[in-house]
Amino acid sequence: MIKKIKITLLVLLALSNKIFACQCIGKTLIDEISDSSNIFIGTVIGLEQNTYKIEINALYKGSLDLNKIYEVIQPNDSCHMAKYDTNETYIFFESNDGFHQCGRTKNIYKSKAIKKLEKIYPNRILNQKNKIKTAEMIYDNLYTLRLFDGKKIDTKNNKILYFDGRTIIENPKNDFNSNWLGIHYYELFGAINIEEKKYDYIIYYEISHEEFFLNEKKKEKLRKKFLKKKSR
């Protein structure tokens, strides 16, 4: 009898978790923009219970006052359990019930939506107080390549070739995001002329979810492989 009661309780618990778990429905960026009343870049400056206090740096959509601290009350349910850290900056997609954890609200250094928003809303409003900081922040997120050794490369004003050990790519269509977890970048060459074209950098990249270090021996091997590939 006790065993049956335990099994029944486990089944009920499993069913309740299924019922109350947040069900995420995939949305396109355009759909999420349409469903959002406000879209903005903001820095979290405080949290009291479920209320986030946010300093707005840039406004893409909405009619918020950038000179005031914006407060958002998050519902206490399974679809709004995501936490946003104080002093961190996010791209926020706010609907009528706050920031949905299945949406594209992310830390700006992990967001792939910002570049597309820049094209959709070229006349975004910048907070004058943080104008320089915000412009640098957006620029840094979109156009700065971070190498494994910490070096930063301006991808907007430098000509770069990418090499993964097999394929050489110039100006990749999907525009590698240097902050996407899982891609590691290493410089193989500095300024170099190839086929009468000058490139500022030749970058080797490898997709891996584990940290690794590219030593000089492997770098040299990749350099030779790259030059051999280019000579064909």
Q: What is the pLDDT along the chain (232 residues), one digit of tens a residue?
A: 554 554 444 444 444 444 457 888 888 999 999 999 999 999 999 999 889 999 999 999 999 999 999 999 999 888 888 899 999 999 999 998 899 989 999 988 788 888 889 889 988 999 888 887 788 778 777 788 888 887 888 888 899 999 999 999 887 655 555 445 568 889 999 999 988 889 999 999 887 766 667 888 999 999 999 999 887 7
Q: Tokens at residue 136, please? A: 């640098």
What's the CA dihedral at 17, 23, 24, 25 to 10 degrees?
A: 160
Which CATH number belongs to the domain containing residue 112 in this structure? 2.40.50.120
Q: What is the pLDDT of residue 147?
A: 86
In angstroms, rounded to a whole number, what is the distance separating the alpha carbons of residues 69 and 221? 54
Q: Are residues 111 and 163 in the same domain?
A: no
Q: What is the pLDDT of residue 211?
A: 63
Q: Are residues 133 and 115 in the same domain?
A: yes
Q: Which of 91, 120, 138 is the last residue of a domain?
A: 138
Q: Which of 89, 119, 138 is the last residue of a domain?
A: 138
Q: What is the pLDDT of residue 14?
A: 43
CA proximity to 160, closest of 194, 197, 219, 203: 203
Q: Are residues 74 and 172 in the same domain?
A: no
- Match 């040299």 to its residue by tokens: 220
In angstroms, rounded to a whole number, what is the distance separating the alpha carbons of residues 128 and 214? 43
Q: How many residues does the chain have?
A: 232
Q: What is the pLDDT of residue 162?
A: 93
Q: Tokens at residue 54, please? A: 């946010």
SS3 66: coil
Please state the domain count of the chain.
2
Q: What is the pLDDT of residue 163?
A: 93
Q: Are residues 111 and 205 in the same domain?
A: no
Q: What is the pLDDT of residue 105?
A: 95
Q: Are residues 126 and 151 in the same domain?
A: no
Structural domain range at position 41: 29-138
Q: How far is CA 92 from CA 26, 40, 48, 98, 188, in A?
A: 17, 5, 18, 9, 37
Phi then psi dihedrals of residue 192, to 5 deg: -150, 140
